[in-house]
Structure 1
Amino acid sequence: MSVQYARCIEVGRGFYLGDRSRVLALSLDGIRIGDRVTIRENAWIQCASSPYNPGQSLSIGEGTYIGPYSVIGVGGPIEIGPRCQFGAGVTLIAENHDVTEAGVSASEVTRRGISIGSGTWIGHRATVLDGVTLGSNCVVGAGAVVTKSFPDGSTLVGVPARRIDRGATDGV
């Protein structure tokens, strides 16, 4: 495992970081990890593109589990509530490149952040993009791409993610 800028990280009791994980913690407001948080093997947390371009902050609530091969890109602030569960390969990206008539800008970005409420479950290989707020106790299906915010108790599937009834049996 590789941890750079460890001085920017505050961890609670019982924290576990899996083998071959990489954490670049350089950020304006640091990383705060609650008690009993597990981040599994091969995870990648990147808070800065360079020493001259740090991200905002990352907060992970107590009892949260983040599966192997997950990627957390901290441009804007990311807040993950307590008791969340992330499957393998989940991606959170709190930054977006500006698009102009000249194309995509490599240097101009927006950083609105991501907020995930307590008790939310995110399935394997799902992606949550910049500017999204998920309420508490949401369920995000495997492979979904969440591009907008949803309230407490939402069940989300698809690309882009859409809300379905929890009892729905429409082939998803």
Structure 2
Amino acid sequence: MPLLIDSAIPRAHLPADCTAGRDVVVHAHELTIEPGVRLDDGVRLVGDRIHLGRDVHLGAGADLRAGHVSIGDNSEIAAGVRVLCADSFSTGPAARICTGVDIVARAFDAGRLLYVGPHSTVGGGGTLESTATVRIGDRVTVGPHNILNANCLIDIGSNVGSGQYVSIWTHGYHFAHSVLDGYSTAFDGVRIGNKVWLGYHCSIMPGADIGDSCIVAAGAVVAKSFPPRRLLAGVPAREKALFDQPPLTDDQAMHEVRQALAAWQRELDWKGMKTDSSDDRWSVHLPGCTRVVELWQDAAQATGLDSAAEGRIVVALDGEPQTSVDGPPVFVLRRGLLLGPTDDLVEDLRDHLRRRTMPCGDTRTFNSITPLPFQRLQQAITPTTSGGQA
């Protein structure tokens, strides 16, 4: 006789302030949806408990199913993303999961500012097992076309990034090579420490434990464990160098920030904005106003001066800023903070600093201003005439 399980999850009713497209279906015993949530056409949500944070956006056809679904504030799940997790699927604030992503595991739980690139997969065999679990820390980037084969636990720390086509494997076998014939199988979890970079097309094999602040070179195959601060390269990967460089002095660090802001000024010119600079001030001339970006070493000193100046943006190397929602936006680079109000220009600078390895803020996804030539092309409409061709 077939096994019958009476565990139907009832249809849930969306709150009136939730923006939902056509054919949206939600099944939940407990449903909590915060203000600003948008569900595009054909979204499917199934879970005993579902929580969608403030300003979450689920793209058309996204299908999320888990015993417990929790999506943090300001997160974006792209069209067509599919999730099937028996126990839980959760992300902290500012998660961005791109198109073509499939996630199948017992549990997938990630922290703040998760990014999963297009066409990545959590699965790849054996991910319906009781051991199929993924744990991810804060500020983690999973590059495009990655494979996380979570037959056993994959434990990833914070501030970890990966290039394209990276694969993490927790099991390996082939039934033609039987253990009864003396062959061995591999079933073991993978641990990746904090501040690790996984280069293009590298592979992490079952049982590997990569220490904090390691870099895995492109194409490497990591088949064992390594201590922190190593450069790993080769097949199989071996230790090539020990990272033991001293941190930059304040003067050296300020020079790097000046270089980054000068590059941002060039990008703003490309984006159609008029800019100029003098000493440690960069002016951006917008219609009806001028925004001034000031570079300071100490955030507290900077925000104590004329903090109410309209349009002022502060970039500081370190310190304890004194700001509020009514004060200026303040970047504190060594602490990774962005405090105060935000807008398109602030977010463009935030994204630029992120690309220069100085990310700040983890409550919103990264976005930048589209350059004017691209805006023109994106907004173009080809005229059509009756009986003619477009």
Q: Does 1:148 align with 2:224?
A: yes
Letter paired with 1:122: L
Letter paired with 1:37: L
Which residue is 1:96 aligned to?
172
Q: 1:6 to 1:57 in 2, by over 3 A?
A: closer
Which residue is 1:14 aligned to?
94
Question: How far apart in 2 are the matches of 1:35 and 1:6?
Answer: 22
RMSD (Å) for aligned C-alpha atoms: 2.2
Q: CA deviation at 1:3?
A: 1.4
Whether contact under 8 Å (1:47, 1:57) holds in the other structure is no
Quick check: which one's strand share is greater? 1
Question: How far apart in 2 are the matches of 1:4 and 1:83?
Answer: 26
Answer with 89-98 or 156-165: which moved more. Answer: 89-98
Whether contact under 8 Å (2:148, 2:167) holds in the other structure is yes
Which residue is 1:24 aligned to?
104
Which residue is 2:145 aligned to?
69
* TM-score using structure 2 length: 0.38
Query: Percent same amino acid among aligned pairs?
Result: 25
Instruction: Specify the SS of the correspondent of 1:165.
Output: strand
Q: Unaligned 5+ residue runs, structure 2?
A: 1-80, 244-390
Whether contact under 8 Å (2:154, 2:189) holds in the other structure is yes
Ranked by relative contact order (alpha carbons within 8 Å, sequence separation 6 or more), the top structure is 1
Q: Does 1:44 align with 2:121?
A: yes
Quick check: which one's helix share is greater? 2
Which residue is 2:157 aligned to?
81
Question: How far apart in 2 are the matches of 1:34 and 1:122?
Answer: 19
Question: How far apart in 1 are the matches of 2:119 and 2:125?
Answer: 18
Whether contact under 8 Å (1:47, 1:56) holds in the other structure is no
Question: How far apart in 2 are the matches of 1:153 and 1:56?
Answer: 29
Q: Unaligned 5+ residue runs, structure 1?
A: 168-172
Q: 1:77 to 1:5 in 2, by over 3 A?
A: closer
Question: How far apart in 2 are the matches of 1:162 and 1:69?
Answer: 25
Equivalent positions of 1:120-159 (< 5 A) are 120-159=196-235
Which residue is 1:35 aligned to?
112
Q: 1:42 to 1:6 in 2, by over 3 A?
A: farther
Answer with 88-97 or 143-152: which moved more. Answer: 88-97
Question: How far apart in 2 are the matches of 1:85 and 1:50?
Answer: 23
Instruction: Specify the SS of the correspondent of 1:8.
Output: strand
Which residue is 1:165 aligned to?
241
Letter paired with 2:140: T
Whether contact under 8 Å (2:124, 2:147) holds in the other structure is no
Answer with 76-85 or 55-64: which moved more. Answer: 55-64
Q: CA deviation at 1:135?
A: 0.4
Q: 1:14 to 1:47 in 2, by over 3 A?
A: farther
Answer with 39-48 or 117-126: which moved more. Answer: 39-48
Instruction: Specify the SS of the correspondent of 1:82.
Output: coil
Question: How far apart in 2 are the matches of 1:32 and 1:48?
Answer: 19
Question: How far apart in 1 are the matches of 2:127 and 2:115?
Answer: 26
Deviation per residue, 1:56-85 (Å, 9 max, x gap): 311111001110000000011110000001
Instruction: Specify the SS of the correspondent of 1:89.
Output: coil
Question: How far apart in 1 are the matches of 2:164 and 2:225?
Answer: 22
